[in-house]
Amino acid sequence: MESSSVNDFGPSRKLMALAQQLRLYKPPPPSNDDDEEEGKRIEESAGKVVSQVGFAESATPVAHEPADRFKPKRAAVLVCLFEGDGGEFRVILTKRSSFLSTHSGEVSLPGGKAEETDANDAETATREAKEEIGLDPSLVNVVTCLEPFLSKHLLRVIPVIGILSNKKDFKPCPNPDEVESIFDAPLEMFLKDENRRWEEREWMGDKYVIHFFDYEMEDKEYVIWGLTAGILIRAASIVYQKPPAFLEQNPKFKVPSTAVLKDNNFMP
């Protein structure tokens, strides 16, 4: 991995200030939209939603089950930040194994589905990070959790932000069954228009944009897009306390009032 931490003796003042800032972060409250007609429209078209947004129909019961049974499984990903050689904040990413049945070969954040034994989202994210890339949870200072995102397979994904005080303590050990490679990228990149491509799509009558970030490191090219890009745009906006230099244009994701989720972020 590139860009070892500039600090060898514990967290720098910059990381300590960031940790203090992020501990004060509170996710925005869910919308209280009680529009009965809108809810009815969603219920009636539940089976169509799958094809309209490209959900894998076999991966979700939405198309076949009553609306009140729409209860997505929970997952968590670790947005692990550290200080690079130039003092910039960087985030640890992985390229998934090409042999996986879903999202094979794609760039992602370490993480996965919650297990019953997990005490909270932070434990899910750090446990999965240890399994996937060998990151010892004791090295990560979890400071906050962001609002949930919804993946195309209807997983309720909670981004957990953690700080790695001394990256030299982290000895990457990718699990070959899940991870092809481990790398890092500057977090601020996800607020800039440089190296960004986009595609406009439509869902439930609303147009939305999918962002693609092209990134090269050590002669390897990576494309960071979809759910991962959306989470990193949000994380960067909070860390740097400013909006991105481009229009995000997310769709308004709504589910029936009886469902567990309301107005969460949707990412393909």
- 72-91 confidence digits (pLDDT tens): 789 999 999 999 999 999 99
Is the domain covering 74-240 a CATH 3.30.70.890 domain?
Answer: no
- 172-222 confidence digits (pLDDT tens): 999 988 899 999 999 999 999 999 999 988 766 777 788 999 999 999 999
Nearest-angstrom CA–CA distance, 145 and 142: 8
Phi, psi of 19 (to 5 degrees): -60, -45
Contacts of 18 (CB under 8 A, 6+ apart): 81, 89, 143, 163, 239
pLDDT at 169 over 70: yes
What totals of helices (H) and strands (E) does the chain contain, helices first? Answer: 5, 12
Strands 206-217 and 220-225: antiparallel
- 1-55 confidence digits (pLDDT tens): 544 344 455 689 999 999 999 999 988 775 544 444 433 443 333 333 332 232 2
pLDDT at 27: 81
User: pTM for the full model?
Assistant: 0.78
